[in-house]
Structure 1
Amino acid sequence: MKIKCPHCSTSYEIKAEALGPEGRSVKCAKCGNRWFVSSEDEEDLEPISKAGTDKTSNDTAADAAGADRDEADWAADAREETLDTGPDEDLDGEEEPEAFSPTFTAPETAADEDRFAADMESEQDEDDSGVESDIESHAKRPKIVVNPDKFRKDQIGAVMRWLARRNYKRVGGLALFGAALAVCTVLVLMRNDIVKQSPDLASLFRLVGLDVNLRGLEFRNLRTFTEDESGKTVLVVEGSIRNLLEEPNTVPAVRLSIRNAGSQEIYAWTVEPRTQSLNGLDETRFRTILADPPNESSDIQVRFVDRGRRQVVLE
């Protein structure tokens, strides 16, 4: 079928399949004009193209005949003027007749049709490839699955990678220091239970300045002073015993020892308080009097002992 550019009237021979069932836009290879050609115009274009072809052939023949007649007339006029003027007349100023040729020759039209067909094929290929790529991309699109634990796993993995990049010696030193600190904390907080299982460790805790209280009792408000009683000097020691536990606790005996300036024990005695049991966080008082204390006494040591162990030592 043939189509004609509405702008420059250039005709092109194309295949009907190139338009498709819905038609398409085409571009003139000569003037660059674009217009839409539908498949419905196929039947109308063929008769018009045939009539146009016949009319064009008739016009061409008529133009050719007219041109022949014009050339004959011009030749006759030239002969007459030559006879009238003679051979010596100067004809330099006259212009020779020009032969008119059609504006669009057959080779040019064929080349335009070839370019037009190539443009249509390239555009069709681009459209087909675009549609196929779109369909393929939609068909192979993967399903998106959201993993709620991904962020948490990424955080753990990032921490592990950060630790792996660190210096292993430094990490090992920090781990060892943390373990030692944890062990020391446990020993300090649970020293009473540890000494109950291993009494020999009490000296170790005292060496570092930590007291070990296995009984859950403590002395408070201890006071020592001397008095004259019946013309004799007596040593008075008094204070209170407090239960540190929140549950009832038995009250043991109290052992007192007098030491000299060299921290040597020179005299000791034991006192059993009247109260034998204390409620939680409760306390009781005790008082003892020693007649005629040693003159070389420097200080007094007080500690708990089991009841029934009465000792009086004089050195």
Structure 2
Amino acid sequence: MIISCPQCATTRDLPAEAISPHGAPLQCTACGHRWRHQRHPGPYESARIIDDPQPAVQAALLDKEARLLAAAALRAERARARRAALRRVERHRWLALGAVWLLLLGAFFAFPDHIVRWLPGSGWVYARLGMPVNPAGFAIGAVQTGRVLTASGQVVLAVQGRLTNITPRPRAAPGLRFILRDAGGKALHSWVLPAVATGDIGGHRAAPFISRIANPPPGARSVEVRLLNDAQQRS
């Protein structure tokens, strides 16, 4: 350590350890001046270290920020999971709806007779599609007519045919309506046969029917045979 005399500016070199931090009495060897020299920290001497609270504050702030970021990330993840669950539910809902529509469409084309029986208004749809529909489950065939002149001079028209149950299970025999038409197709007269048989007609079985009418209209040229529907059957 270089020491200068404040009186004559004579310098001398002393070890730094010779001067305490609180100062030391010195005497100049040149002029004899006495003074108390105070030690000042050099550029490479460390001053007294004090605790700096700034790193702890920064660490606390960083920890708080990390917790906030973690909470935000957790909320975002939960929101993403909820959105994914909603998308799955929506997708399953549409898949279920599509499956129901496919089942209904398949039933519409696979069971037209049943559909028309349950929804009578749907018959025109099958008609537009050119699909034959028989909701009653019976088919009329082998229709023949004949005229007989009785001893009293009456003309009796006999209409006969076969009623076939086209379903695999027994069904109650329905009634029939007979309509006489002229050459132009105009209805001239009609009558009803309440029931073809007294019981059921077995699945894929047929029952004969015959009905007679005395003195048919002279202009009758053809006869139409129809099945009675449930409402007509009850009336």
Could you state the TM-score of these two structures normalised by the residue count of structure 1? Answer: 0.36
Larger helix proportion of the pair: 1
Larger strand proportion of the pair: 2
Which structure's relative contact order is higher, taking Cα pairs within 8 Å and 6+ residues apart?
Answer: 2
State the structure with more CA Rg.
Answer: 1
